[in-house]
Amino acid sequence: MGAFCLQISFLILSHSASAPRHTGTKSKGMMMMQHYDIAVVGGGVAGLTAAIYAAKAGKQTIVIEKQERLGGRAVTNKKKGAYFNLGGHALYHGDALATFREWGLSLQGNQPSIDAYGIWKGKLLTLPMSVKSLLTTPLLSWRGKIELGSWLAKLGKMDTHRYDQISLREWIESQFYDPMVRNLFYSLLRTASYVAAPDMQAAGPVLKQLQNSLQGVLYLDRGWGTIIDELREIAIKNGVTMMTSTKAVAVEHRDGAVQHVRCEEGTLVEAKNIILTAPPAVAHQLVTNAEATSLHAWREQAIEITAACLDVALRRLPKPKQQFIYGIDQTVFLSNQSRAACLSDDGAQVISVIKYQGEEKNPDKDLHELEQTLDLVQPGWRDELVAKQYLPRITVYHDFLHMRRQQPGPAVPEISGLYVAGEWASHGELLVDAATASAKRAVQCILAREYTEGKPKDAYRRIV
């Protein structure tokens, strides 16, 4: 009974006036609920984006999120006045930024400067990020400088799709003669994508991301939790029902069409369409007889990419000029996000240090490497420490853009009304751009199906 009341109160708390009412009938330990047009499993960026698109198209929509708070990997934790994202987060000029701007999100923050150092053989050396630093960097010979300079001049106009079918290593090794230019590209492209797997990673999408980064990135004041707060507000304003602290445990279907989502407390959420934004392995587990569907291939092909992230808030920077560092012979990256965004209540500087993990994962060794990076860049940082957060192995991608991959979704073709979205359901986008773009694709697909079945055409026109 306690759980039942709790469930109802979550619904009521976040329920908006225009959403459908719940019947609340309880039979055999189960609460039947009113029918929704669209049920979205997962309340991260993909889930919220899908819900907003669906609600704006006039669909009665519910988001089911297992955690108490919405946001998934885009939450921000506040510790001793400092705002920590789950590892360093930068908003690129891609699908997510365009979507958030279209919806009027405030996105307060700034573009960080790109003056950077590289770590090479235990030393910090100026990286060639501008004409001046290209000319002065001790990292490159004159021949290397010319090779890099002429390539960077072409990057903005390059057709990156030409390289979608070759690996990053093949691309780098065939493009550059100078070994240090090659090293720099491995480092830049690893950082742009968060992936340290050049033999498997498709070159085209990550080159596109590098191209996008030429327009600068955005660091957000008070972190990415602000995006979630605003998305939640927009969703609720458009009539989306939020059901938090509720884990979906099954997606049931009959005669080839979805029926409902079964939640842990016995709640059934009936819906004509269900969008799963949980990881591929969870999506597979939720759907009965998933082995007979494309979910099986998507789970089997998935290669997870993880990172170890150390975030620290420092009273002051021991070395104020050393704020942005790429590992060249180490797979690490450091950025003082406070150089462009307000990330503390009292002026503390929030620095993110990331180790891009390959197959070998050793939390203690990774922490040591991250702390050594801080020792090199900000010696004496321990004396200035206000707060810290260590995430030894956080998933950046449940599946990344590798060479052996089929594009998942948006529809699960074997079950009518079932869709997938989320960072792993990418069709060429990276990171959060994949989350928003896949969410949009799923809703478009639902509306397009209704359109072809002769249902109202207005909603489809509104989103296309």
Ligand X SMILES: Cc1cc2nc3c(=O)[nH]c(=O)nc-3n(C[C@H](O)[C@H](O)[C@H](O)COP(=O)(O)OP(=O)(O)OC[C@H]3O[C@@H](n4cnc5c(N)ncnc54)[C@H](O)[C@@H]3O)c2cc1C
Contact positions vs ligand X (CB under 6 A): 41-47, 64-67, 72-74, 86-87, 89-90, 92, 247-248, 277-278, 282, 307, 309, 394, 396, 422-423, 431-432, 435
Give φ, ψ of 132 to 5 degrees.
-60, -50
Distance CA 25, CA 420 (A): 30
Give φ, ψ of 420 to 5 degrees.
-125, 150
Closer to ligand X by CB, 42 or 239: give it: 42
* Shortest Å distance, C-beta 80 to ligand X: 21
Closer to ligand X by CB, 206 or 278: give it: 278
Distance CA 214, CA 25 (A): 56
Closest CA to 306 of 390, 399, 199: 399
Closer to ligand X by CB, 53 or 176: give it: 53
Distance CA 321, CA 324 (A): 9
Closer to ligand X by CB, 145 or 262: give it: 262
Distance CA 163, CA 159 (A): 8
* Shortest Å distance, C-beta 440 to ligand X: 13
Give φ, ψ of 11 to 5 degrees.
-65, -45
Closer to ligand X by CB, 46 or 376: give it: 46
Give residue 18's identity as a one-letter amino acid code: S
Closer to ligand X by CB, 59 or 262: give it: 262
* Shortest Å distance, C-beta 89 to ligand X: 4
Closer to ligand X by CB, 134 or 431: give it: 431
**Percent composition of the chain: helix, strand, coil (DSSP 3-state, to 5):** 40, 25, 40
Which pairing describes strands 82-85 and 25-27: parallel, antiparallel, or unpaired?
unpaired
* Shortest Å distance, C-beta 284 to ligand X: 11
* Shortest Å distance, C-beta 65 to ligand X: 5
Closer to ligand X by CB, 140 or 192: give it: 192
Closer to ligand X by CB, 127 or 274: give it: 274
Closest CA to 221 of 344, 389, 44: 344
* Shortest Å distance, C-beta 327 to ligand X: 16
* Shortest Å distance, C-beta 87 to ligand X: 3
* Shortest Å distance, C-beta 261 to ligand X: 8
Give residue 74's identity as a one-letter amino acid code: A
* Shortest Å distance, C-beta 45 to ligand X: 4
Residue 41 in tokens: 């499993």
Residues contacting residue 435 through CB under 8 Å, at least 6 positions apart: 44, 45, 46, 49, 96, 277, 421, 422, 423
* Shortest Å distance, C-beta 180 to ligand X: 26
Q: Are 196 and 247 in contact (CB under 8 A)?
A: no
Closer to ligand X by CB, 181 or 207: give it: 207
Burial class (CB in 10 A: 0-12, 13-18, 19+), 451: middle
* Shortest Å distance, C-beta 140 to ligand X: 27
Closest CA to 228 of 436, 399, 88, 12: 436
Mapping DSSP to helix (H, G, I), strand (E, B) and coil, where does residue 349 land?
Answer: strand
Mapping DSSP to helix (H, G, I), strand (E, B) and coil, where does residue 388 land?
Answer: strand
Distance CA 137, CA 140 (A): 6
Closer to ligand X by CB, 120 or 400: give it: 400
Closer to ligand X by CB, 400 or 460: give it: 400
Residues contacting residue 64 through CB under 8 Å, at least 6 positions apart: 39, 40, 41, 42, 43, 243, 246, 248, 261, 263, 269
* Shortest Å distance, C-beta 278 to ligand X: 4
